[in-house]
Amino acid sequence: MSRLTVFADNAPSTPIFASEDPTAIAAELKAIGVRFERWKSPVALSSADDADKVLAAYKPYLDTLMGESGAGSADVIKLTPDHPQAGALREKFLSEHIHTEDEIRFFVHGGGNFVMHVNGRVYDAHCTQGDLISVPAGTKHWFDAGDAPSFTCLRVFTDTSGWVAHYTGDAISARFPVTRPVAA
Ligand SMILES: [Fe+2]
């Protein structure tokens, strides 16, 4: 289940907001410019399906996303616990950074946490299958799917160079271990 937990950025052990209600999550995130939606999937895919099959199955979603965002390209990122670069990729996404374009993800399978750092608060969004999240350009954030990552995501890009991060050098993510529902 999707969940949003909000903290003051100097108090990682004291949530000031927590919800698993998609409408409440979307409203809270909208206030900081982050788009969050639950999309019903018209297709049932196996987690073993390759990127081409995922892209083909989700073409209507991609067309919508790319039409709304002006994005020019899309791909699929898939991580499994046995991925040889799972640890290295986790480190790459885990340090606070910004992008010069919106970071738009749709979770086809599995889940992970997008954590935004805005106006002295930390917004930890645990996203799951069927969640769309769009983090605006320039918003400080990081991503973590834990030490056994399991997710398949659609990504759309406006920047032709793909995923490019500008790290802030702030070690804040180390002070905010991501929160996940117990059953996840
Ligand atoms: Fe990012």
Instruction: For residue 61, report the distance from its CA to the centre of ligand 1, in Å.
Output: 21
Model confidence at 184, pLDDT cuts 50, 70, 90, reads very low
- By CB atoms closer than 10 A (0-12, 13-18, 19+), residue 60 is exposed
Q: 122 CA distance to ligand 1 centroid (A)?
A: 15
Specify the pLDDT at position 98.
Answer: 97
Q: Cα of 105 to ligand 1 centre, how many Å?
A: 10
Residues 124, 36: contact at Cβ < 8 Å? no
Cα 170 to ligand 1 centre (Å): 14
Q: Which residues surround ligand 1, an ion (CB under 5 A)?
A: 103
Q: What is the pLDDT of residues 70-123, one digit of tens each?
A: 777 888 999 999 999 888 888 889 999 999 999 999 999 999 999 999 999 999
pLDDT for 48 beyond 90: no
pLDDT digits (tens, 9 = 90+) for 139-178: 999 999 988 899 999 998 887 777 889 999 999 999 998 7
